[in-house]
Amino acid sequence: MIIPFDIHYDEKNHLDKVYHRGQEKIWDGIKVLDGLFERFPNDIVDLNDDQIRALENILGIILWGEFAAWTTASEMSARFDDYGAKMAAVSQAHDEARHFYVIRNYLQERLDYKPKSIFKPALRVLEEISQTKSLAKKLLGLQLMVEPVAITIFRFLRKSEIDPILSEVMPLFEQDEARHIALGVKYLPSLIKEMSLLRKIGFIMWQIKLILYEIRGLKCIEEDLKTLGICPKEVFEFAENKQIACLKELSAEIGVGEKIWSPVIKIIEFKKRLTFYPHKTHPIARKVINCFF
């Protein structure tokens, strides 16, 4: 490593504020979880076998998502040039490590479950983000594609009231994840501006690939969501709106119109219809979209 004595600091973005806000809002995962185990012991929650399996499947994906977010944020922190962005990423890595051990402890102590594998489409999303060398793709994938879906799942788990422990701990996750999105929205524009047209096209194609994996991933947990009393279509629509809102915010930061994302939005809408409402899609259109995506 070469020490950059003239380390860059972006006066406009002040991303170090994300780090300071993170420090103000920090919470102790062990203390919170132990307190909740004491207040809501296992015997007061009457979950049937299907509900337990559904929670294991959904929280298993969340667990490995937290792991991927933790290692990716650590890597981004090491590679960013701007010290505000470095601070925001290291603060995110700290949060994600806490999210990882809280979910892991919940699964082990509450459900006596040790997660192993997860559904293939969810795994592909995490692998794509972890394995790409491109910082722009990592930021787009983690901050603007995965975080909105994670926030959505936390919100719906909280609202389902399936377990009072989850209803109390999920808002703490939601609050942390909402802070992480800022790093993507503020730092990604400078990386996009440096891209050639060809790279921009590749970048958008990669994003479409990731979204399609996410749609398949949500389809895989459709039955589990229903088992927990959560409507899968509502989850999908909420996540989709959150992702689109993030992309629009990003367009405003870059200073381009929202139209740049319209092909992406069209493909999401079409693939969503095909996945969740196949009978409402024209058979020829279904063949074409399945062939290309």
Nearer to Fe ion, 182 or 218 (CB): 182
3-state secondary structure 238-258: HHHHHHHHHHHHHHHHHCCCH
Q: Six-digit token pair at 263?
A: 């092909």
Give the span between the Cα atoms of 235 and 231, in whole angstroms.
6
CA-to-CA dists, residue 255 to 30, 40, 174, 252, 260, angstroms: 43, 49, 28, 5, 11
Q: Considering the complex, what minimum distance in angstroms separates the CB of residue 150 from Fe ion?
A: 6
Q: Which of 249, 104, 217, 246 is nearest to 153 (CA)?
A: 217
Q: Considering the complex, what minimum distance in angstroms separates the CB of residue 274 from Fe ion?
A: 29
Nearer to Fe ion, 106 or 227 (CB): 106
Terminal Cα-to-Cα distance of the chain (whole angstroms): 41
Give the span between the Cα atoms of 187 and 10, in whole angstroms.
9
- The 169-198 contact track toward Fe ion, x by CB under 5 A, reads --------x--x------------------
Options 19-27, 52-60, 65-73, 261-269: segment touching Fe ion (CB under 5 A): 65-73
Q: Considering the complex, what minimum distance in angstroms separates the CB of residue 24 from Fe ion?
A: 17
Q: Considering the complex, what minimum distance in angstroms separates the CB of residue 245 from Fe ion?
A: 16
Options 83-91, 93-101, 226-234, 236-244: segment touching Fe ion (CB under 5 A): 93-101
Options 29-37, 92-100, 131-139, 240-248: segment touching Fe ion (CB under 5 A): 92-100
Q: Considering the complex, what minimum distance in angstroms separates the CB of residue 113 from Fe ion?
A: 19
Is residue 82 part of the contact set for Fe ion (CB under 5 A)?
Answer: no
Provide the β-strand partners of residue 82: 8
Options 88-96, 160-168, 191-199, 220-228: segment touching Fe ion (CB under 5 A): 88-96
Among residues 86, 94, 98, 99, the one that binds Fe ion under rule CB under 5 A: 99
Q: Considering the complex, what minimum distance in angstroms separates the CB of residue 206 from Fe ion?
A: 20
Options 45-53, 66-74, 131-139, 253-261: segment touching Fe ion (CB under 5 A): 66-74
Nearer to Fe ion, 22 or 189 (CB): 22
Q: Which residues of 154-185 are buried (b: 16+ CB within 10 A; e: fewer)?
A: bbbbbebebbebbbbbbebbbebbebbbbbbb
Q: Which helix (DSSP H) or strand (DSSP E) does residue 211 occupy? A: helix 197-220
Q: Which of 121, 144, 142 is nearest to 132 (CA)?
A: 142
Determine what percent of the chain falls in helix, strand and coil, rounding each to the nearest 5. Answer: 80, 0, 20
Q: What is the total count of residues that contact Fe ion (CB under 5 A)?
A: 6
Nearer to Fe ion, 179 or 271 (CB): 179
Among residues 96, 128, 214, 240, the one that binds Fe ion under rule CB under 5 A: 96
Residues binding Fe ion (CB under 5 A): 66, 69, 96, 99, 177, 180
